[in-house]
Amino acid sequence: MERPGRLEGKVALITGGGNGMGREASTLFASEGARVMVADVSEAGARATVGAVEAAGGEADLVVADVSDATQAEAMVRATTERFGGLHVLYNNAGIFPADDAGATDTPEATWDRVIDVNLKGVWLGCKYAIPALVASGGGSIVNVASFVAFMGAATAQIAYTSSKGGVLALTREVAVEHARSGVRANALCPGPIDTPLLAELMADPARKARRLVHIPMGRLGRPEELARAALFLASDESSFMTGAALVVDGGITAAYVTPE
């Protein structure tokens, strides 16, 4: 007898779903029974993801949205509930990491502002507009992508990105506590370096790549499917007693370098 999918009957909204880890999660969630709304600033990327989901037998649609814009964030949630009749999972995956995000004294102000807008404000706006929809659907799960750098400094300077991800971790805890009794769970997914096109571009410099790999006890980058499976666990009812938690998927980096309080 075939087991039901781990997200059977659920509707999932995935931001940044047009490429990389967002595409991987979209196809995985759909394979586990979810109807997926792919939100991305790139229509072409979102359309490609929807095509991949449908080719594998899943159901998906797309909405073009800049998560840092309140009007567009509200519209992507509304598009999801109108298309699929509810919302049970919000996966706040969208994020950026500009090449000129450097040290505290070197990072341009415009870069700081844009990273915080997308990576932190975008997560807040997703929660702001999705929480009422989750409650109306009988409760659900929010998965916010933070990072291992929410717990420690990065091996190479990236002040805006690190600050944004620390904020995501704090925001997640706040949302979890505030909305627990409404049936809404919120957890942070904290990946280490994952082998995506974005990271490949940033690690094109062999010296920069070497500086990062030396800090990973497992000696390799994570794979997108490894992170997607962790996100699936947090999205599903298998994690039903988890909220306000940080699930670290980093190949052992924080275990090696972070001292428990």
Cβ(128)–Cβ(226) under 8 Å? no
For CA atoms 34, 37, 40, 46, give the dihedral sign. Answer: positive
Phi, psi of 31 (to 5 degrees): -65, -20
Tokens of residue 153, six digits? 């400094």
Tokens of residue 136, six digits? 């109306």
**Intra-chain end-to-end CA distance of the chain, in Å:** 48
129 is known as an active-site residue: no
Spatial strand order of the sheet with 89-92 comes to 59-64, 35-40, 11-15, 89-92, 140-145, 184-191, 246-249
Which one from 91, 129, 161, 257 is the annotated catalytic residue? Answer: 161
Cβ(95)–Cβ(68) under 8 Å? no
Cβ(127)–Cβ(172) under 8 Å? no
Phi, psi of 106 (to 5 degrees): -110, -20
Alpha carbons 124 and 118: distance in angstroms, whole number: 10
Strand (E) positions, the chain? 11-15, 35-40, 59-64, 89-92, 140-145, 184-191, 246-249
Alpha carbons 75 and 134: distance in angstroms, whole number: 15
Q: Where are the alpha helices (DSSP H) in 85-191?
A: 109-116, 122-136, 159-179
Active site residues: 161
